[in-house]
Amino acid sequence: MIPHLEIIEGAYYPHGGMYSITESLVQLAKEIGVEFKFSSPVREIIAENKKIKGIRTDAGIENFDVVISNMDVYNSYLKLMPNVKKPEKTLSQPKSSSAVIFYWGIKKEFEKLGLHNIFFSENYPEEFNSIFEKKSIYNDPTIYINITSKHTPTDAPAGSENWFTMINVPNNSGQDWDALVAEARKNMIKKISRILKINIEEYIQCEMILDPRLVESRTSSAFGAIYGNASNNKFSAFLRHANFSKEIKGLYFCGGSVHPGPSIPLCLLSAKITVGLVK
């Protein structure tokens, strides 16, 4: 479906990358009077007698009739509402896979590469067996490389490229991620170098790494799972948590861990659905 949409119908590309979507939404919100309080994390969602009362931050309690949590629904209940009745069946569902991403500044341009590039594993079933059964990283992972400078040259210095280099990995269950990421990096560089017939490591000028631990700490995604609950059965889409609480009046949810599901378009749709539900 996605290749058909991109190739046949055409797709939109936000100027400045996906972050510009966030900036645009913040600007729009400010124009209609929304007040943002950054660097003020919510410590608790307060509910009494099955009704929302407000939130607690380090600065104290703020009273609200409606609270919308866009934190992973698993952590919303466990971390922000420890005393509220939890939807155990939903929270106990298996979590999705995660990712390791290398953000590489490459001091070279590769004409053979495009905006989207995928180097598939030679043994796809074994790769997924490693992820979901062995909870480890396969030694020949499928590699996705996104290079936005192919579309917007100013995203990288002249003669260079910005590589978003990602592989699928298990979610965080206490693995030795330092060792796993180091080994994965070696295998990825070896594979890319073989395919491109050049030692790619010589052209890596700068590097940032995102692993499941950082995904979890930076986004509150439970176990670093980037898709919320796993989609391993035909009913999984119907088992996602709703955008509202059946137990607490005034409590709503949005984001990739609830209806309708993960990915930026669906997260935006989730927010739209939730706003429509607020009464």
Residue 11 lies in a domain: no
Same domain, 105 and 145: yes
Same domain, 53 and 134: no
User: What's the domain count of the chain?
Assistant: 2
Same domain, 114 and 208: yes
Q: Convert the pLDDT of each residue in 109-168 to its tens digit.
A: 999 999 999 999 999 999 999 999 999 999 999 999 999 999 999 999 999 999 999 999
What pLDDT is stored for residue 55 in this prediction?
97
Q: Convert the pLDDT of each residue in 30-56 to its tens digit.
A: 999 999 999 999 999 999 999 999 999
Rounded CA gap, 212 and 101, in Å?
Answer: 9
Q: How far is CA 37 from CA 21, 23, 26, 42, 95, in A?
A: 19, 15, 12, 10, 31
What pLDDT is stored for residue 165 in this prediction?
98
Domain that holds residue 171: 98-219
Same domain, 83 and 176: no
Residue 61 lies in a domain: yes
Same domain, 185 and 88: no
The 10 Å CB-count burial string (b at 16+, else e) for 127-156 is beebbbeeebbbbbbbbbbbbbbbeeeeeb
Same domain, 87 and 143: no
Same domain, 151 and 103: yes
Same domain, 126 and 148: yes
Alpha helices in the chain (DSSP H): 2-4, 19-31, 73-75, 88-91, 124-132, 177-196, 212-219, 264-277
Identify the DSSP state of 254: -
Residue 6 lies in a domain: no
Alpha-carbon torsion angle 171, 174, 179, 181, nearest 10: 20
- Specify the CATH number for the domain of residue 270: 3.50.50.60
Same domain, 144 and 70: no
Share the mean pLDDT of the chain: 94
Rounded CA gap, 95 and 207, in Å?
Answer: 28
DSSP string, 11-76: ----TT-THHHHHHHHHHHHHTT----TT--EEEEEEETTEEEEEEETTEEEE-S-EEE-S-HHHI
Is it the case that residue 74 has pLDDT exceeding 80? yes
Residue 186, number of CB atoms within 10 A of its CB: 12
**157 cis-preceded (ω within 30 degrees of 0):** no
Q: What percent of the chain has pLDDT over 90?
A: 82
Residue for token pair 């966030």:
22
By residue count, the chain amounts to: 279
